[in-house]
Structure 1
Amino acid sequence: MRTKERIHPETGQRLVRGKRSVTLRYKGMKEKVEMPGWYAEDDSTGESGLHDARDMCVSDRVINRMKSREKGFYSPEEIHHIRKRKLGITQQQAGLLIGGGQNAFQKYESGEVIISKALNNLLKLLAVIPANFFL
């Protein structure tokens, strides 16, 4: 059973589970995200919140999206579209045939992992001429 409240280790304030709108920044880009965590009731900015690993997945995915955008790589939604609509294969098939392993495309499409430049370039080719993939 999860605890309903915690005490902040530095300030001693009572914290409750919730979400706060937080702006994340990366190389001149910024994006707002509803960040889950433990917050003081009077903390509307989320600056003094505490976050566990599951909470950090939310911000990690947003930061990964900004990193991909900055590099000119496909977004998770674009990767999903190419795999499903252009190639007509499952995530498992894509991981085994294109590379990365059975669960790789689930991670790429969720934003958990950023694709490599080589994979981004391969997907560009496959998006234009998907029939080449099966030759």
Structure 2
Amino acid sequence: MLTNCANHLHHFTEQTPHLSVTRIELFVIPALAVDSAGHRICLRLTSSLGFGWSELFASDTEEAVDLDRWSDLLQSFIGRIPLPPLSQYQYDKTEQDGRALDLFVTAVNHALAKSAESPPYSIDHEESVLRQRSVSYVSLD
């Protein structure tokens, strides 16, 4: 398990590429497929390069996601972070903290890829739809 990784992020130099993260949102949405018992957990990142997105599926047979714990962990990434994020850390992607960190890293990579393709766009409508479908919602900024 990875602990206190965000506390070490301030040790990068000014030459290290960075990203400014201004908001992290988590949406927990019931699975829509008839044969899928569980939830989609979606993470949307707002950054200096635009939006990043990631998601995972949590079946009803898995341990419940602790959104309070994930919020505490992810809150530490609001601000300036080095790129690539968490490259110097090993974490288990199957554990609770590892799953949250993997969602975050995937969203950062998505923001980087999207910024190379096109200018940022507004997705206020998408946020509204996600909030309406969510059974749980967390916004960190």
TM-score (norm 2): 0.28
TM-score (norm 1): 0.29
Larger RCO: 1 or 2 (CA < 8 Å, sep 6+):
2
Greater C-alpha radius of gyration: 1
Higher strand proportion? 2
Higher helix proportion? 1
